[in-house]
Amino acid sequence: MSDFTLQVDQHKYLPLGGREVHAILTVTGTVAQAPPTEAAEVIIIDTSGSMTGGKIREARQAAKAAVDALRDGVEFAVISGDTSARMVYPRGRKLAKAGQSTRDNAKKAIDTLDANGGTSIGQWLLLACDLLESRPGAIRHALLMTDGQNNEGEEAFARALKQCEGRFVCDSLGVGDDWVPDELRKVSNALLGAFDFVRDQKDLAEFFTRITEASMGKTVAELALRVWIPKDATLKYIRQVSPTLLDLSGKRTPVNPLTGDYPTGSWGAEEREYHLCVEVPPAAPGQEIRAAWIKLVRPDTGDVHASGNVLAHWTEDLALSTRINRKVAHYTGQAELHELIQEGLSARAAGDTATATARLAKAKQLADSSGREDTARLLAKVVEIDPGTGTARLRRHVEKADEIELDTGSTRTSQLRQEG
């Protein structure tokens, strides 16, 4: 059985004429003696031509490690992906129930995987979607790994992601330095999963095991944040800000003209945080309104697990209205850091040295001041700042793997440290 809490952190006081209300929503799930939950898992292995040699050997070991991590009774399949998608196990477009014999047979089938052909990630996801659709009541999850650039057209890829959206959660991994982070970022944004960089292919099995075990720990298939805002107000954005950045603003499912559901995916024992920003019409001093009413709901049943209010109160007291909530400030800074890194790397790729230097140098300063030591270390491999003059310049030689690690790592955030 799972229990959930919702905590709202905000500073409700606005100056006269103030309109924007910010709040951080902390959702915490706890699991007490959880019974086995129906689950379906699809493991997707890139077997394109670039996977020859050591990569395909490590991919086989990783896939077998994921199969070993499946809970008894979980429905599963293994897919081989190149220019098209093919079933590795079981035979036929269906799922198998995890047990000792099916695990052994799946691992024998995985041992036959070879590398050949191109990369069509959208086709792989569509086959996974078709398989997972056969278990509508289950916690549906896919694990995808790739080492190369997607060869299918952008429109075909976008159509595939749209078709899969809301039907299952997908975590993805990029291996080596020839894949494109933006492609797996699109998978993450559409399918509400995380994506990560496996720098050393020998670590692939560890990543597969960790992700599969996390998937097996989920106990609720889907929760949504149901957000009500008053008439004449505008929800400017709602973003997941911890443990990773994920914009939910465009995923609204209307409940009524003032209320919409924003999907958060499947849940186990974990904590996630969301940044909500609502624009409200200004009011007279002393007036207080409910700027948003948040409910954590199961979309299929309408059951409400937790709820909370976001308030707005107008005041003439400048000392009160100029205070900033620490949590809101913290995650605003984390989002700014991510945007600076993305803008800097894009400018660098486009040959715009001036913009790239300015953005990445500012990101380095922000990472240093906010205690993001890992991000600051990666930024130092791309941009150097003279400690005496403060002059910044891009480094001439940057390893591709360092650039990918900086790109993928920029979506991860740190939680606010406790005071005192």
User: Higher confidence at residue 416 or residue 336?
Assistant: 336
CA-wise closest residue to 251 among 162, 311, 338: 162
pLDDT band at 35 (very low <50, low <70, confident <90, very high): low
Average pLDDT over residues 257-275: 96
pLDDT band at 272 (very low <50, low <70, confident <90, very high): very high
The DSSP string of 186-209 is HHHHHHT--EEEESSGGGHHHHHH
Q: What is the pLDDT of residues 162-221, one digit of tens each?
A: 999 999 999 999 999 889 999 999 999 999 999 999 999 999 999 999 999 999 999 999
Average pLDDT over residues 123-129: 98
pLDDT of residue 163: 97
Quote the CA–CA distance of 179 and 145 in Å, as a whole number: 10
The one-letter code for the residue type at 173 is L
Q: Is the pLDDT of residue 338 over 90?
A: yes
Arithmetic mean of pLDDT over the chain? 94
pLDDT band at 413 (very low <50, low <70, confident <90, very high): confident
Burial of 216 (0-12, 13-18, 19+ CB in 10 A): buried
Distances in Å between the alpha carbon of 40 and those of 75, 137, 359? 5, 10, 43
Q: What is the pLDDT of residues 284-315, one digit of tens each?
A: 999 999 999 999 999 888 899 999 999 999 99
Average pLDDT over residues 379-389: 91
Q: What is the pLDDT of residues 55-64, one digit of tens each?
A: 999 999 999 9
pLDDT of residue 85: 97
Length of the chain equals 420
Q: Is the pTM of this model over 0.95?
A: no
